[in-house]
A = this chain, B = another copy of it.
Amino acid sequence: MIHFESDYLEGCAPQILEALQATNLEQTLGYGEDPHCAKAAEMIRFVFDCPDAEVHFLVGGTQTNATVIDALLRPHQGVICADSGHINVHETGAVEHGGHKVLALPAPQGKISAAQVRDALQAHYADFSHEHMAQPGMVYISFPTELGTIYTKQELTDLYQVCQDWEIPLFIDGARLGYGLEASGCNVLPKDIARLCDVFYVGGTKQGALFGEAVVFSNPRLAEDFRYIEKQHGGMLAKGRLLGIQFETLMNNGLYFQLARRADRLADRIRAAFARKRIPFLVENTTNQIFPILEIDAIDRLAAEFGVERWQQVDTERAAVRFCTGWATAESAVEALEAYIEFKL
């Protein structure tokens, strides 16, 4: 069986295991107050060109989202996001557990627009009874989105402008940030991400680390209480240096971006193979997730040879499936899939 189910099937980039080995008996303070975390933070500030940013390291995505959102909102505030947003669908109500409503907007391609957010804010405050409604207190997007689509620089610029006009922060979930930044046709640079939001995170778990997400407060004022709230959410790793070491390694010589680029190019090849057979896609995108629409029985046959995620029923006879490439995807696996698509699908 050749696996394309997700981008977290394997352990980590070999360089990270080497670094863990090399540092194993170093003695450091806990809770992220060690030289590796300091160095990794410095490297991230450099790479994303945000010299004043404050950087914190957490273990996983749901935890990161819930902690950042809880740190930014007042009790009566909610978070605007796409209806397909991870926080709205796949975190077992973690945001609500923190007391906050998720204010979902329709987003067929996984993206929400500046106009949508502005309209939602205007409608909210125009409502005579807005004191009886959860107040929109921040905007959450993911880059790339759950559907593997990405925002253009202009879209991000517009979205952030709306947030600034209404004085609410913009938070970018970057669980797959590298796969977004290295996508074909992406005109957003790392520094644009930092510049066009108040806080974002650089996802490690799905991009070559064993685990870890680096939260970057480009707007450091918002980070004031973050360590307290991180601890309260159970998100402060005792041996914090494990996060520092991993991000040092990923930022070193652009490894993070190399791994993402390679995975995106492999995804492009799979995408092209489907396109050559005129197979439609659920969504047009260029990142490491591919969503072809196939006949159900074709999916059943394919699933005998390739691990793939059944994503969404499209009509009675067809469904979308998801293929993921990742930092660890073997080229041979892609070749086998290309051959299958060409000759057996």
Contacts and interface: CB of A to CB of B under 8 A. Distances in A.
Interface stretch (A39-47, A227-235, A295-303): A227-235
B74 A231 contact: no
Nearest to A229: B76
A128 to B, nearest CB: 7
Interface of A: 3, 5-6, 8-12, 14, 17, 20-21, 23-31, 59-64, 66-67, 70-71, 74-76, 78, 89-94, 96-102, 128-129, 131-135, 205-206, 210-211, 225, 227-229, 231-239, 242, 307, 309-310, 328
A133 B92 contact: yes
Of the candidates A75, A102, A133, the one having the most CB atoms from chain B within 10 angstroms of its own CB is A75
Contacts of A93: 76, 78, 99-101, 134, 232
A99 B97 contact: yes
A229 B234 CA distance: 13
Contact of A238 (B8, B20, B96, B236): B8
Given A25-B328, A94-B231, A99-B99, 9 more contacts: A3-B27, A6-B30, A27-B307, A63-B233, A74-B229, A75-B97, A91-B232, A92-B134, A92-B231
Contact of A26 (B11, B239, B309): B11
A20 B23 contact: no
B225 A237 contact: no
A27 B6 CA distance: 10
A131 B78 CA distance: 23
Contact of A237 (B10, B60, B102): B60
A28 B14 contact: no
Contacts of A235: 63, 234
Given A14-B24, A27-B9, A101-B96, A211 B234 contact: no
A108 to B, nearest CB: 16
Contact of A96 (B5, B100, B210): B100
Contacts of A25: 10-11, 328
A61 to B, nearest CB: 7
Given A211-B242, A242-B11, A231 B131 contact: yes
Nearest to A245: B11
Of the candidates A8, A63, A76, the one having the most CB atoms from chain B within 10 angstroms of its own CB is A76
